Chain A
Amino acid sequence: MSIKLPAIGNSQILSVGSYRPKRLVPNSEIVDRIESNDEWIQQRTGIQSRRFAGADETVISMAQAACESALKRAKLTIEDIDTLILATISYPFQAPSAATELINVLGNPKAAAFDISAACAGFCYGVAMASDLVRAGTSKNVLVVGVEKLSDFTDPDDRATAFIFADGAGAVIIGQSQEPCIGPAVWGSDADARDAIVLNPAYTEFRNAPDKGVAELGWPNISQQGQTVYRWAVFTVSKVGIKALEAAGVRPDELGAFIPHQANMRIIESMAKEIKIPESVVIADDIRVNGNTSAASIPLAMDVLLEQHPELHGTLALLIGYGAGLVYAAQVVQLPPKP
């Protein structure tokens, strides 16, 4: 007696889509509350502006718009999608998942759908899982969505974070391929440094101390130890990028683009230096205009890059996601073909 299994196949990114909230917020709107200035913010992060979602722009509505754009570009309908993986840390319900709300809204409530919590690494975690699901034959077409409404979890008075985080959604569709178009994921955690980025307090604190409430307990806004995260990102996570290139058998000069998580322009530039990304490679810098959108930042940056540089369609890109956990994942992918 033996178990039947489909042959291992190959996977590719078929398309990318994104949604940016309508409201663009320049540094000048942020600085007064944190006694800072535009020059200081730009010098340390490269950020000139970010987008904040309005009341009518929810985690689900932004993700829906990104997915519909990706479906249209891949010339697929939602019925072609059998799996949805959604990465977020800002969906305001513990359960059911954001993925089940999204797949229902998109119109295919029978597809497998689940959330993953890997913060700013969430998109690369999703790509890793989707690629393996397709290769193993478990899924045929997987929607991977990164979406955040971090303005709901950012303290506008926190001098260390108020200017960093932003809102938006990005999605890719991963399907079958003749050739390997998604390299092996190199991933892991540095969980002994999990205090470096946190959202505290726990929701249960509000039940346990109803007399205190948000006024005294605060709200689970993101707080981070900037220097610790910078050091980890530049000097530890860069090595993960080098390993992902090695795992895929790709040299830095064979890349078309470098699309790391858009955390901070200084981190991106230092990472590129550590990995020895040559000048011929286009480096995503969406952080400058649209801020740090955590799980959404890589697909958002990918979409913008392909719009600005259409010649990058079909070229290789190194993706690196890293964030709260601390967790990281990197892989080399072939960017989707021109729709």
Chain B
Amino acid sequence: MALAQADVLAGIKEIVEEVAGIPAASIEMDKNFTEDLEVDSLSMVEVVVAAEERFGVKIPDEAVTDLVTVGDAVNFIVNAAN
């Protein structure tokens, strides 16, 4: 099933809020996970696993380091799902 970018972004916002306690309203496509949202490498693993479960995609460990911004994660998931 194709996923829309807006739906994935909404899902990522919820996950990041749940994992890292960052208000969903402050999470946008151009935000950097580490520098803007203070999501460290271990929290990033939790975000990735939650996103895999929610969107039914596989995000391998070697791809995680390339997910620098929220937009990187959203686009990776949209591409992987479609």
Q: How far is the CB of A193 from chain B (nearest CB, A)?
A: 9
Q: How far is the CB of B35 from chain A (nearest CB, A)?
A: 15
Task: Check if B45 sits within 8 Å of A234, measured CB to CB.
Answer: yes
Mark the stretch among A97-105, A117-125, A209-217, A221-229 that contacts chain B.
Answer: A221-229
Q: Is A219 an interface residue (CB 8 A)?
A: no
| CB contact under 8 A between A43 and B46, given known A225-B61, A227-B61, A227-B64 | no
Inside 8 A of B48's CB, which chain A residues have their CB?
Answer: 231
Inside 8 A of B40's CB, which chain A residues have their CB?
Answer: 43-44
Instruction: Across the interface, name the chain B residue whose C-beta is closest to A266.
Output: B42
Out of B42, B44, B49, B61, name the residue touching A235 (CB < 8 Å). Answer: B49
Inside 8 A of A230's CB, which chain B residues have their CB?
Answer: 42, 45
Tell me the complex Cα distance, A231–B58, Å: 13
Tell me the complex Cα distance, A226–B43, Å: 12
Within A183-237, which residues are at the interface with B (CB < 8 Å)?
A: 225-228, 230-231, 234-235
Interface residues of A (CB under 8 A from B): 43-44, 225-228, 230-231, 234-235, 266, 270
Q: How far is the CB of A330 from chain B (nearest CB, A)?
A: 20
Tell me the complex Cα distance, A44–B45, Å: 13
Tell me the complex Cα distance, A226–B40, Å: 12
A and B contact pairs by CB, cutoff 8 A, 8 listed: A225-B61, A227-B45, A230-B42, A231-B45, A231-B48, A231-B61, A235-B49, A270-B46
Q: How far is the CB of A190 from chain B (nearest CB, A)?
A: 13
Tell me the complex Cα distance, A302–B44, Å: 31
Q: Is B79 an interface residue (CB 8 A)?
A: no
Interface of A: prevailing SS: helix
Known contacts A44-B42, A228-B61, A266-B42; can you find 6 more A-B pairs with CB under 8 A? A44-B40, A227-B41, A227-B44, A227-B45, A234-B49, A235-B49
Inside 8 A of B49's CB, which chain A residues have their CB?
Answer: 231, 234-235
Inside 8 A of A44's CB, which chain B residues have their CB?
Answer: 40-42
Inside 8 A of B42's CB, which chain A residues have their CB?
Answer: 44, 226-227, 230, 266
Q: How far is the CB of A226 from chain B (nearest CB, A)?
A: 7
Q: How far is the CB of A229 from chain B (nearest CB, A)?
A: 10
Instruction: Across the interface, name the chain A residue whose C-beta is closest to B60.
Output: A228
Task: Check if A226 sits within 8 Å of B61, measured CB to CB.
Answer: no
Instruction: Across the interface, name the chain A residue whose C-beta is closest to B40.
Output: A44
Q: How far is the CB of B33 from chain A (nearest CB, A)?
A: 13
Tell me the complex Cα distance, A235–B45, Å: 10
Tell me the complex Cα distance, A227–B66, Å: 13
Tell me the complex Cα distance, A227–B44, Å: 9
Instruction: Across the interface, name the chain A residue whose C-beta is closest to B65.
Output: A227
Q: How far is the CB of B22 from chain A (nearest CB, A)?
A: 16
Inside 8 A of A266's CB, which chain B residues have their CB?
Answer: 42
Q: B37-74 toward A: CB 8 Å interface, digit per residue (1/0)?
A: 00011101110110000000000010010000000000
Q: How far is the CB of A336 from chain B (nearest CB, A)?
A: 34
The 5 A-B pairs with the shortest beta carbon distances in the complex, nearest first, are A231-B45, A228-B61, A230-B45, A227-B45, A230-B42
Tell me the complex Cα distance, A270–B43, Å: 10
Tell me the complex Cα distance, A266–B19, Å: 12
Tell me the complex Cα distance, A231–B49, Å: 8
Inside 8 A of A231's CB, which chain B residues have their CB?
Answer: 45, 48-49, 61
Instruction: Across the interface, name the chain B residue whose C-beta is closest to A225.
Output: B61
Instruction: Across the interface, name the chain B residue whose C-beta is closest to A235.
Output: B49
Tell me the complex Cα distance, A231–B45, Å: 6
Tell me the complex Cα distance, A44–B39, Å: 11
Instruction: Across the interface, name the chain B residue whose C-beta is closest to A233.
Output: B45
Inside 8 A of A227's CB, which chain B residues have their CB?
Answer: 41-42, 44-45, 61, 64
